[in-house]
Each structure stands twice: as C-alpha cells, then as structure tokens.
C-alpha cells in the first residue's frame, strides 16, 4: 500500500514494528505509523476514509493482541502524543494519550478521591474510556464513574463533544465503534475531597496488592477474559480447570494469576489465540461457563 500523499505530514513513519508498542510485546509491522496531532488528524482520517485505507488506533498497547503478521494500513498511536492534562473550574481535561496513572496522580494532587485505582491501569485515557476500564474486585469501579464527556472525531474529521450518558458505558464496554470514532480528549469531574496523605496511602496499598496478586514483571495484557456472569472471576475457573502454567508456543497461563497470559519469550499472536481457545473450551466443558475476551484483537 502506498500513500505518498501523506508523506508530507510530520512524523509519518513506514514499516514500524508494533511489538515494542504493546505490553505483550507481540505484533508485526505497521505499514504506516503515526503519532497524531490534532491539527493534522482530520486530514489523515479523511484521506484514509476516502481511499479505503484501514486505520487502527493504539494507545499504550496494554489491552490489544496485534497480529504477528502486522497491520497493512495506518496505525495511529497516542503513546507519545496528545499528552496535555489541565485543570479549569474544577474540571480536569485530559487528552487521549494521557496515561491513566498520570490522571490518577493529577487527581490525587488536587485531593480528589475516587481516582486512586487508576494508578494500576497502564493504558491511556482514550482507550480507557473506549472500553470503560476499571476494577471488579471489591465492588465495580470504572473510569466512567468520574467522566463528564468526551471529544470525538469521526473518519471524516468532524469533531464534537458527547456526554458520558450517550456513550452507553457498561462493563468493559461503550458504544464507541472500534476503528470508526477517535477519542480526542475527555473531561473529568471533581469528586469528594480527601486528605492527600489518605489518597497516597490508598494508592500505595492498591499497588502493593496488585504486585502481590499479578505477574507485573512479565509481558502480559492484564486480564485476558472478562468476568463471566455468575460472580466468580474468570481466573477462578481457569485455575480450577488446572490450567496454570499451561503453554502453547511461548504463550503461557500465568502461575501467579490464571486470567493473565504471559509472553514467555517469543509468543506470536497465534500462540495466544490458540491458548485462549483451549482455555475457553476447557472452562466451557468443565463449568458450562463461556468466557469472553477482554483483550481486543487487532488484525
Ligand atoms: C499490568 C496490566 C494491568 C491492567 N489492569 C487493568 C485493570 O485493572 N482494569 C482494566 O480495565 N484494564 C486493565 N488492563 C488493561 C489495559 O491497561 C486497559 O484496558 C487500558 O484501558 C488499555 O489502554 P491502552 O492505551 O493500552 O489501549 P490499547 O491497548 O492501545 O487499545 C485498546 C483499545 O482501545 C482503542 N483505542 C485506543 N486509543 C483510542 C482512542 N483515542 N479513541 C478510540 N479508541 C481508542 C484501541 O483501538 C483498542 O481497541 C491492564 C493491563 C496490564 C498490562
């Protein structure tokens, strides 16, 4: 695929390996790769739309499984761009690429409670809203709880604000269509005020708990499957099905947390997909529980 017309756009790169842009360290090359700026984004999206060029959005790659064969199109990645965060009239505005841990610290600095747990979710605000990232342990908490509204851009470059109520936020879900609407920025509300020391304490406790339970030193994408209906976490079933340590290629069910898949070296997207299928089959046959992927496959 050749898109010479976009060569003039600053920062447009060709043949960029995507694995280093993901926490799983899996993914082949993107034909075109771009870290966007707001001024040029409409031009790029419109061009891609008119010419039927596939576009993928990528934040910090902590919830995606990218095809090891690569992505033939344009990958628009906010790892380094759209990083502005500010406070005005008791409202935080954060651009899409702001990491959720940074939002958590920013809110903590204001003494706002309710953002503490975001310290442990290593993705961006944009992706976090698209999938309504959050926690299920000790009661459901989601980024949507503190959201006011989002600024969206469609594939024709149109921009508008949409209230949280119109995003149909649910458990790891929103109505923002994958690859068709880009979240540019979001506004967050002041919550209850708390002592900064108390917030710091809650944040540190939360991180310590994660370190104890989760394989944070390994390449993973966090939880692989959503919590199924019925109250028990996916890891409970996978563990009871005896799958901890089970491996296909270099994709391995974590010994520390059964719902996490580790890349034990050079895992491919196929290794992970096959392993996920085996897990689903085993859990379905033993418990009649049907696991659904939390991770988004980009291919
Ligand atoms: C160690 C670890 C711990 C984790 N813990 C949690 C947790 O507790 N709770 C939880 O919910 N998740 C958790 N995750 C998963 C992940 O961090 C979250 O899902 C996060 O929201 C993904 O953000 P990202 O920027 O990495 O998104 P990516 O993986 O890059 O993308 C995810 C999806 O969002 C889309 N997207 C990205 N940017 C935009 C944009 N600007 N506009 C529209 N769509 C966009 C992508 O196309 C893709 O479909 C964890 C992951 C890891 C590795």
Question: Could you report the per-residue pLDDT of 103-126, keeping only the tens digit for each?
Answer: 999 999 999 999 999 999 999 999
What number does the ligand 1 atom closest to the CA of 79 have? 25
- pLDDT beyond 60 at 261: yes
- Closest residue to atom 20 of ligand 1, CA basis: 123
- pLDDT beyond 80 at 138: no
Residues carrying an active site annotation: 172, 223, 294
Digit-coded pLDDT (tens) for 181-205: 999 999 999 888 888 899 999 999 9
CA of 286 to the centre of ligand 1 (A): 30
Mean pLDDT of 238-259: 98
When the pLDDT of each residue in the chain is averaged and rounded to a whole number, the result is 95
Q: Which residues line ligand 1 (CB under 6 A)?
A: 23, 57-64, 78, 96, 120-124, 126-128, 130-131, 133-135, 176, 178, 182-183, 216, 220-222, 296
Mean pLDDT of 82-108: 97
Q: Which two tokens mark 202? A: 């809650």
Assign 137 a pLDDT band (cuts: 50, 70, 90). Answer: confident
Assign 8 a pLDDT band (cuts: 50, 70, 90). Answer: low
Assign 95 a pLDDT band (cuts: 50, 70, 90). Answer: very high
* Percentage of the residues of the chain whose pLDDT score is greater than 90: 90
- pLDDT beyond 90 at 277: yes
Q: The domain 4-77 is classified under which CATH number: 3.40.1190.20, 2.40.40.20, 3.30.43.10, 1.10.1040.10?
A: 3.30.43.10
What number does the ligand 1 atom closest to the CA of 122 have? 17
- pLDDT beyond 60 at 264: yes
This prediction has a pTM of 0.96
Assign 253 a pLDDT band (cuts: 50, 70, 90). Answer: very high
Query: What's the pLDDT at 1?
Result: 54
Query: What's the pLDDT at 147?
Result: 98
Mutation choice for ligand 1 from 19, 54, 127, 130, CB with most ligand atoms inside 8 A: 127
CA of 130 to the centre of ligand 1 (A): 8
Question: Has domain 85-198 been given CATH number 3.40.50.300?
Answer: no
What number does the ligand 1 atom closest to the CA of 214 have? 1
CA of 64 to the centre of ligand 1 (A): 7
Q: How far apart (Å, rounded) are the C-alpha atoms in residues 118 and 106?
A: 11
CA of 142 to the centre of ligand 1 (A): 13
Digit-coded pLDDT (tens) for 212-235: 999 999 999 999 999 998 779 999
Mean pLDDT of 62-71: 98
- Closest residue to atom 50 of ligand 1, CA basis: 222
Domain boundaries, the chain: 4-77, 85-198, 234-298
Query: What's the pLDDT at 231?
Result: 76
Class of domain 234-298: alpha beta
- pLDDT beyond 90 at 4: no
């Amino acid at each position: 695929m050749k898109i010479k017309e976009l060569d003039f756009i600053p920062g447009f790169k060709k043949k960029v390996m995507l694995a280093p842009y993901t926490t799983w360290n899996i993914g082949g090359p993107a034909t075109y790769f771009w870290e966007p700026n707001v001024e040029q984004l409409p031009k790029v999206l419109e061009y891609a739309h008119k010419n039927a060029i596939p576009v993928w959005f990528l934040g910090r790659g902590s919830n995606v499984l990218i095809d090891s064969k690569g992505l033939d199109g344009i990958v628009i990645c906010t790892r380094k761009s759209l990083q502005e965060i500010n406070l005005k009239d008791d409202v935080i505005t954060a651009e899409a690429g702001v990491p959720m841990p940074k939002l958590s610290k920013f809110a903590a600095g204001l003494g706002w409670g309710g953002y503490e747990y975001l310290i442990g979710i290593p993705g961006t605000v944009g992706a976090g809203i698209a999938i309504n990232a959050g926690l299920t342990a000790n009661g459901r908490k989601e980024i949507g709880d503190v959201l006011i509204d989002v600024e969206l851009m469609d594939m024709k470059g149109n921009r508008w604000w949409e209230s949280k109520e119109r995003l149909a936020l649910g458990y790891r879900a929103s109505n923002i269509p994958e690859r068709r609407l880009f979240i540019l920025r979001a506004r967050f509300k002041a919550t209850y005020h708390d002592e900064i020391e108390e917030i710091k304490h809650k944040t540190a406790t939360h991180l310590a708990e994660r370190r104890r339970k989760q394989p944070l030193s390994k390449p993973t994408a966090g939880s692989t499957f959503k919590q199924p209906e019925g109250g028990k976490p996916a890891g409970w079933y996978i563990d009871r099905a005896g799958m901890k340590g089970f491996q296909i290629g270099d994709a391995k069910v974590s010994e520390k947390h059964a719902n996490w898949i580790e890349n034990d070296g050079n895992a491919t997207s196929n290794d992970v997909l096959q392993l996920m299928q085996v897990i689903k089959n085993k859990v379905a046959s033993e418990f009649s529980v049907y696991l659904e992927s939390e991770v988004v496959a980009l291919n």
